[in-house]
Amino acid sequence: GIQVEQSPPDLILQEGANSTLRCNFSDSVNNLQWFHQNPWGQLINLFYIPSGTKQNGRLSATTVATERYSLLYISSSQTTDSGVYFCAVGRGGKLIFGQGTELSVKP
C-alpha cells in the first residue's frame, strides 16, 4: 500500500515564527489533504491539494505530485496553531494518513 511520511515529528516555535511541514508519499495519488487536529481533538480540513499551490490566510500548501511530496507553510505562527498536523493521501475512496507533526507555539 501507499506509505506516507511526515516530517518533522515534533516542532516547537516561538509565536511569530514561520515553519514548513513536509509530507512524502510512495506512490501516485489523486487525493491529498492537510488537516489540523486541535488540542480538543477536533479535526479541521486545511487544504484539499492533490497538485499545485493554495493559500488561505497565513497558511499555504504546495503539492508536487510528480515528485511525491507536499509542503504546508505556516507563517507568523500563533498559539492557536498548536496541535497536530496530518497529511492524508489516497486513490479512489482509500485514504492513508501520515503520523502527523506535533506543533507547539509558545507565547
Partner 1 sequence: EAQVTQNPRYLITVTGKKLTVTCSQNMNHEYMSWYRQDPGLGLRQIYYSMNVEVTDKGDVPEGYKVSRKEKRNFPLILESPSPNQTSLYFCASSGQGAGEKLFFGSGTQLSVL
Site residues for partner 1 per CB under 8 A: 1, 30-31, 33, 35, 41-45, 47-48, 86, 88, 90, 92-100
Q: Which is nearer to partner 1, 91 or 106 (CB)?
A: 91
Note the Cα 84 to chain centre separation in Å: 9
Cis (ω within 30 of 0) for the bond into 9?
A: no
Q: How far is the CB of 95 from partner 1 (least distance, A)?
A: 5
Using the minimum distance from each CB to partner 1, give the nearer residue, 13 or 89.
89
Enter the C-alpha cell of residue 98.
501520515
CB nearer to partner 1: pick between 30 and 79:
30
Distance CA 45, CA 106 (A): 23
Report in angstroms how near the CB of residue 28 gets to partner 1 at its nearest: 15
Q: What's the closest the beta carbon of residue 1 comes to partner 1, in angstroms?
A: 7
First to last CA, the chain: 41
- Judge whether 74 and 22 are in contact, CB under 8 Å: no
Instruction: CB nearer to partner 1: give 17 or 60.
Output: 60
